[in-house]
Structure 1
Amino acid sequence: MLAIQIKSPGNVEVIDLDMPQLRPGEVLIKIDYVGFCGSDLNTFRGKNLMAISPVIPGHEIGGTIEAIGDNVPEGVFTKGMNVTVNPYTACGKCSSCRKSRPNACEHNETLGVQRHGAMREYIAIPWEKVIPAPGISSRDCALIEPMSVGFHAVDRGAVTDIDTVMVIGCGMIGLGAILRAAMRGATVIATDLDDDKLELAKRLGATYTINSAKENIHEKLCDITAGYGPDVVVEAVGSPVTYVTAVEEVAFAGRVVCIGYSKSDVTFQTKLFVQKELDIRGSRNALPADFNAVIRYMQHGNCPVDLLISDIVTPDKAQEALQHWSDNPGKVFRILVKF
């Protein structure tokens, strides 16, 4: 079967693999679509220190069930069912797992990063990680995982309808956070460098937008929030500038939720941590409840999925697609590979 491998920085190959052997407790999934995500882009660029090399990428999965192994509960899955996958592992023993937060498992291995992923024609997955998505096409199933990461960040920020929330970065994960915050009744401010992304943020529920390349963020926030600043800031970029902005602009007694990984050190005036009595919270991956919330949203048919998919390519075009994204990072939401 065909598979895509990032062999080394800037070098993607289509390789041939044996069909996976279906073991007891597993479900065989025919992969229809897999999304390239930011971690795959960083692997392609040689900047993902967590990724094995070479690696088969891919953890944003849309597929159909091909076969069901022994020792899988009856009545849960049927052949041909559209599914996505929870791509994270959990050891069950570390501090995070013991606190019912397996998404932050100390020993997590995400598909396509610390272990080979799903950019292949078929993959065998433990049944517990397979998530049925009735009423959602296998193409759109590939959008569930990245949106769930944004949903989880809003949950980490304990966002309610009395909050004003600023989301910095309107990529797929940031858009997921914007959507979830708006669904909870919050007033949402979207911040990005690209007007097209900000326009889409409005479609998904942002009340206000700030183009930080053209506008003064602090002045705009003062106008919007009567000088108080946003109650919650979600950092979904992962750069020193945006991390500092989050801490400087959040309201006193506010919450900062950090999703993005900065590739370099970040220097803070830590007095703001104390003076504002901030809650600074990391947000990693997603929980099953976040996946389920995204699925319920997408089942309603209101998600502008066609606007979220920048391109659909075949495996032989994977190198070209990643190079295009690397050259134009601000213009891509999601690139799907169709098998």
Structure 2
Amino acid sequence: MKALVCDEPGRLSLVSRPEPVRGEGEVLVRIRNVGVCGTDFHIFAGKHPFLEYPRVMGHELSGTVEEAPVGSSLEKGEPVYIVPYLSCGNCQACRKGLTNACRNIRVLGVHCDGGMAEYVCVPERNVVPTGSIALEDAAMIEFLAIGAHGVKRGNLGAQDRVLITGSGPIGMSAIIFAKARGAHVTVMDTREDRLAFAVEQLGADEILIAGDQAESEAERRTDGEWYDVVIDATGNAAPMQRGFNFLNHGARYVLLSVVRQDITFADPEFHKREATLFASRNAQPDDFAEVVRQMEAGRVPTRALNTHRGRLEDGARLFSEWSRPEAGAIKAILEV
């Protein structure tokens, strides 16, 4: 089979590998579409801290069933998407249903080879029929589920005034699911093109430029009451710390981002607000199901989100092109 391998930072190769052999309880999936994630660009750039090269990237995956276990409800040729978090099922987190926070988790394309290839084998529980969702759209379910999970963690409702910081793909997914819950959403970023997209395509209510006057402007707009929920999707420690400045009394702060540095905040300010801080890691099965429901309801602008497409065979060239900010990629998809 063909596979796109990141041999080392900055170098991709299209290689021929043996097709994987399905193990007990596994499904062999013929990959059709692979969404390219910020994680993939970090791997390509050599910025991922927990990865060994060479690596086949790719964890936003859709395809068709090639072979399933005897007695499986899955049928050959059935369109499916893949949940890329391979949890152990035995640790304390898994026993509590927190498979997204499994102590022994392996993520396809990061801890083990992923789906930038013609075939992949995964446990049957990680393979889900797409239903009425088109295969190219199903390759976007995983990144959207990240936002859906963060919104669920923040327990957003129609009564909430929400600030989402960072308008990359993950921030956009948070906007979509915050709006699906009826919240009033303000988006803060430095990129005016992304902010315009958030309003025009995703239904964000307001934008806020992340400049020196952001706090004073937010205070003015909210009559000094700030935001009930803040969701950070910047992936940068400085704005993650800055997000504490925008919390209302009793507010919830959800960190979709993760960085290697320590994050600090003023304890007296946090304490007097009786605020709550949430980590949000990966996504759970019900988050994936929520994405599918919102897609089927027409509330996810998949065509607008999928800005770039290309073939797996051209991946080495396309990665270099798509990784440039001026390329304007929101979600790029490789067709296999």
Q: Does 2:76 correspond to 1:79?
A: yes
In the other structure, the counterpart of 1:138 is: 135
Query: For the residues of structure 2 that align with 1:329 and 1:107, how far apart are their CA atoms?
Result: 38
Unaligned runs of 5+ in 1: none
Percent identity over the alignment is 32
Query: For the residues of structure 2 that align with 1:21 and 1:71, how far apart are their CA atoms?
Result: 18
Q: CA deviation at 1:329?
A: 7.5
In the other structure, the counterpart of 1:210 is: 208
Query: For the residues of structure 2 that align with 1:160 and 1:127, how far apart are their CA atoms?
Result: 34
Residues 176, 300 of structure 2: 8 Å contact kept: no
Unaligned runs of 5+ in 2: none
With 167-176 and 286-295 compared, the bigger mean Cα shift is at 167-176
Matched letter for residue 257 of structure 1:
V
**What whole-Å deviation, never above 9, does each CA across 1:225-262 have from its counterpart, x for those lacking one?**
22111111111111122112211111122111011122
In the other structure, the counterpart of 1:64 is: 64
In the other structure, the counterpart of 2:49 is: 49
2:103 to 92, 101, 106: 106
Matched letter for residue 149 of structure 2:
H
Matched letter for residue 235 of structure 1:
D
Residues 33, 142 of structure 1: 8 Å contact kept: yes
Query: For the residues of structure 1 that align with 2:209 and 2:28, how far apart are their CA atoms?
Result: 45
Q: Does 2:24 correspond to 1:24?
A: yes
**What whole-Å deviation, never above 9, does each CA across 1:76-100 have from its counterpart, x for those lacking one?**
3223222111110222333322322
Query: For the residues of structure 2 that align with 1:228 and 1:135, how far apart are their CA atoms?
Result: 43
In the other structure, the counterpart of 2:312 is: 315
With 261-270 and 40-49 compared, the bigger mean Cα shift is at 261-270
Q: Tell me the matched-pair count.
A: 335
Q: Does 2:280 correspond to 1:283?
A: yes
Q: CA deviation at 1:2?
A: 0.5
Q: CA deviation at 1:330?
A: 8.5
In the other structure, the counterpart of 1:10 is: 10
Matched letter for residue 9 of structure 2:
P
In the other structure, the counterpart of 1:179 is: 176
Matched letter for residue 151 of structure 2:
V
Matched letter for residue 39 of structure 1:
T
Q: Secondary structure at the match of 2:122?
A: strand
Q: CA RMSD in A?
A: 1.8
Matched letter for residue 294 of structure 2:
Y
Matched letter for residue 45 of structure 2:
R
Query: For the residues of structure 2 that align with 1:11 and 1:241, how far apart are their CA atoms?
Result: 30
With 200-209 and 128-137 compared, the bigger mean Cα shift is at 200-209
Residues 174, 236 of structure 1: 8 Å contact kept: yes
Residues 229, 251 of structure 2: 8 Å contact kept: yes
Query: For the residues of structure 1 that align with 2:158 and 2:117, how far apart are their CA atoms?
Result: 42
Q: 1:278 to 1:90 in 2, by over 3 A?
A: same
Matched letter for residue 208 of structure 2:
I
In the other structure, the counterpart of 2:217 is: 220
Query: For the residues of structure 2 that align with 1:308 and 1:296, how far apart are their CA atoms?
Result: 17
Q: 1:330 to 1:208 in 2, by over 3 A?
A: farther
With 21-30 and 116-125 compared, the bigger mean Cα shift is at 21-30
Q: Secondary structure at the match of 1:190?
A: strand
TM-score w.r.t. length of structure 2 = 0.94
Residues 62, 141 of structure 1: 8 Å contact kept: yes
Q: 1:47 to 1:124 in 2, by over 3 A?
A: same
Query: For the residues of structure 1 that align with 2:321 and 2:227, how far apart are their CA atoms?
Result: 35
Q: Secondary structure at the match of 1:254?
A: strand
In the other structure, the counterpart of 1:127 is: 124
Q: CA deviation at 1:208?
A: 0.8
Task: Decide which structure has greater strand share.
Answer: 2
Q: CA deviation at 1:318?
A: 1.8
**What whole-Å deviation, never above 9, does each CA across 1:143-174 have from its counterpart, x for those lacking one?**
00000000000011111111111111112211
Matched letter for residue 209 of structure 1:
I
Residues 45, 326 of structure 1: 8 Å contact kept: no
In the other structure, the counterpart of 2:90 is: 93
With 227-236 and 193-202 compared, the bigger mean Cα shift is at 193-202
